[in-house]
Homo-oligomer: A and B are copies of this chain.
């Protein structure tokens, strides 16, 4: 049970982006440096985030990425789901085969389904804004 670094990178990058963009686009190069994430890898992630309508891109020099919405309207769960694709804890759930014989398998499935729901609910209960203000508090605290 492990969250991919994809998801971790994505959330961190989004926090970083929110913190440093004051309406201005932020380049991935900046983010990659500050957060120590491989640039090319970040590009892949932001492609997904863009298609997922979480960020918008500005091309050309001085370009970069912007939040597609205000940070209070972006859920952590969205970010994770977008870069992660299936957020079901068990693979046999995606294919709608519904085979499920009478074995124990069938019974345990409901557990994994519920677990997946809990995970999604939790991550959807946190907004990007929550993390950003938490981060600001942290920075303010460290500066003293």
Contact = CB atoms under 8 A, between A and B. Distances in A.
Given A8-B112, A15-B108, A111-B123, 20 more contacts: A1-B7, A1-B89, A1-B119, A2-B88, A2-B91, A3-B89, A3-B112, A8-B108, A11-B111, A12-B104, A35-B103, A35-B104, A36-B103, A102-B138, A102-B139, A106-B138, A107-B134, A110-B134, A111-B131, A118-B118
Interface residues of A, number: 46
A123 B114 CA distance: 10
Contact of A15 (B7, B12, B107): B107
Chain A contact residues, majority secondary structure: helix
Interface string A21-48: 0000000000000111000000000000
A125 to B, nearest CB: 10
A12 B135 contact: no
Contacts of A119: 1, 115, 118-119
Interface of A: 1-4, 7-8, 11-13, 15-16, 19, 34-36, 76, 80, 84, 87-91, 102-108, 110-112, 114-115, 118-119, 122-123, 126, 131, 134-135, 138-139, 142
A133 to B, nearest CB: 10
